[in-house]
Amino acid sequence: MKPICLLFVLPLLGTGCRTEQSAYLEKALSQLERIERVAYWRSSESYLPGDTIPRRYLRYYVEQRNRADTTLRHSYLSYYNADDTTRIDGGYDGTIAVDLDHDRREVVIDDFSIPRAPYRLTDMTFFCRAEAILRYVLTTSDPIRTEFTPCGDGYRLRLDIDRDCVVEFWGRPYYNRPPRELFPEAEHSAYEIVFDSERMPRKLRREQTHQITVDSVFDVRIDYEPQAPLRLEAYYPDGYMLRKRKLRNQAKKPYDIVGRQAPDWTLVDADSTAVSLGDLRSRVLLIQFTGIGCGPCHASIPFLRSLEERYTPADVGVVAIETWGTPLRSIGVYVRRNRINYPMLAGTDETVDAYLPDRAVPVYLLVDAERRVRHAFRGYTPAESDRTITEAIDSLLHEQ
């Protein structure tokens, strides 16, 4: 196979191997644009910074072209249980997105009247994203670098985007510049697509500062014939209640736990060592409910580390409880990479439900020597939150 190798910045569609690459990608894009419906299994891997072992998922998808939709240009159905494709777990029809909670027998509907992101926050399906990336490579004026090399029976396209922001593809590119004080690392976005011998994408790698994902598809079934519009209601199970999604911050529930005894718990750290609330004997204890991948949570680490220098262990202790289901090995990597000097434990649903009125993080609870919850703080803003929490700690120490 003849190699097609280059490194360039668009917009510069020149001659020779550069034209050969463009011709290949244009044909691949044209082929994708002809697809009216595609069903496939998607195997996904997700890595947090420093991970060597990924989190893995296997899901089934049905994508359908939706020319009436100007955002994703696709509709889809998703099935999260690899052993049961008789009932959907989510979907999008160009107007609404739904998530099904089979335990509560609910259909949670997002009509996008409450924006949660610069784009419609849906599940990003494989072929929709691949199509958007190819269209971007061929038309963008952004500073980008590409590599195009043989890979097995096909080719591999590597795309690096040289912009000081995160670039996501939800039907088209979206540019997100998170606050520098919450995300101090330099932003970087890169994508790789592996094509088979028929110019069809089979693997897609997304690389960003905070996460790497790798998606591979198999048992792909393609239909080039026009389809009737996808109607999500036809896939709702009988007897399920319909509920509109609400923005968490719009319906904050009060912290009824403030003033009450802190519920006991026994959780494990990255080394599987059990730690209970009773093991932490400082006069004041600061409990952080966090999630690995949460920007404000991450930004608070220097402040939490500094408490060890400011106070004696007998006076003030800190413990973090991870609430997003991150595996222990990833928690260990996170602790080492960020030089965390306080216990970080893997939370359970029971612990989170006992302490938090909703699942939004970060949350900081200040507990006194009798293990009563005295203060609760939502969110984190550098300097301001540092001052507020420190003042509450000092007041509580003085009181005791």
pLDDT tens digits, 58-76: 999 999 999 999 889 999 9
Mean pLDDT of all residues in the chain?
Answer: 90
Residue 389 CA: distances (Å) to CA of 260, 286, 318, 367, 392: 19, 9, 12, 12, 5
Given a cut of 80, is residue 252 above it in pLDDT?
A: no
**Which strand ranges, in their side-by-side order, compose the sheet holding 97-101?**
144-151, 154-161, 189-195, 201-208, 211-223, 37-47, 55-65, 74-79, 90-92, 97-101, 106-110, 241-244
Query: Which pLDDT tens digit goes with each residue over 280-325?
Result: 999 999 999 999 988 899 999 999 999 989 999 999 999 999 999 9
Q: Which residue has the tokens 């890595």?
A: 47
Given a cut of 60, is residue 231 above it in pLDDT?
A: yes
What's the CA gap between 309 and 305, in Å, rounded? 8
H/E segment holding residue 109: strand 106-110
Say which residue, 82 or 143, is predicted with more confidence. Answer: 143
Comparing CA positions, the residue from 311, 306, 309, 305 lying closest to residue 282 is 311
Instruction: Delimit the domains of the chain by residue range.
Output: 17-245, 253-399
Say which residue, 10 or 112, is predicted with more confidence. Answer: 112
**Which strand ranges, in their side-by-side order, compose the sheet holding 344-346?**
274-276, 266-268, 344-346, 316-322, 284-290, 363-367, 373-378
Buried b (16+ CB within 10 A) or exposed e, 272-297: eeebebeebebbbbbbbbbbbbbbbb
> Quick one: average pLDDT of 251-271?
86
Given a cut of 70, is residue 184 above it in pLDDT?
A: no
Q: Which residue has the tokens 């912009």?
A: 163
- 3-state secondary structure (DSSP) of residue 374: strand
Spell out the residues 6+ positions from residue 24 whose beta carbon is closer than 8 angstroms to its own.
4, 148, 155, 199
Tokens at 174, concatenated: 């979206």
Fold exhibited by the domain 17-245: outer membrane lipoprotein receptor (LolB), chain A (2.50.20)
Q: Please provide residue 153's backbone torsions phi and psi, each rounded to the nearest 5 degrees.
A: -85, 0
Residue type, 321: I
CA 325-326-330 angle, 5° bins: 165
The reply to whether the predicted model has a pTM over 0.75 is: yes
Comparing CA positions, the residue from 54, 384, 328, 49 lying closest to residue 183 is 49
Which percentage of the chain shows pLDDT scores above 70? 91
Tokens at 286, concatenated: 């600061």
Q: Which residue has the tokens 């002809």?
A: 34
* DSSP states along 178-237: --TTT--SPP-EEEEEEE-TTS-EEEEEEEETTEEEEEEEEEEEEE-S--PPP-GGGGSP
Going by pLDDT thresholds of 50, 70 and 90, the confidence category of residue 183 is: low
Lowest-confidence segment of 1-10, 122-131, 238-247, 347-356 by average pLDDT = 1-10
Based on the number of CB atoms within 10 Å of its own CB, is 365 exposed (0-12), middle (13-18) or buried (19 or more)?
A: buried
H/E segment holding residue 134: helix 126-139
What's the CA gap between 269 and 276, in Å, rounded? 11
Comparing CA positions, the residue from 322, 277, 267 lying closest to residue 298 is 322
> Quick one: average pLDDT of 257-268?
95
Return the pLDDT at 121. 83
Q: What is the DSSP letter of 11?
A: S
- 3-state secondary structure (DSSP) of residue 162: coil
Return the pLDDT at 305. 96
Query: Which pLDDT tens digit goes with each residue over 204-217?
Result: 999 998 889 999 99
Given a cut of 70, is residue 16 above it in pLDDT?
A: no
Rg (CA), the chain: 24
CATH superfamily, domain at 253-399: Glutaredoxin (3.40.30.10)
Q: Pairing relation of β-strands 363-367 and 274-276?
A: unpaired
Given a cut of 50, is residue 8 above it in pLDDT?
A: no
> Quick one: average pLDDT of 6-14?
43
Query: Which pLDDT tens digit goes with each residue over 351-382?
Result: 998 998 888 899 999 999 999 999 999 999 99
- 3-state secondary structure (DSSP) of residue 108: strand
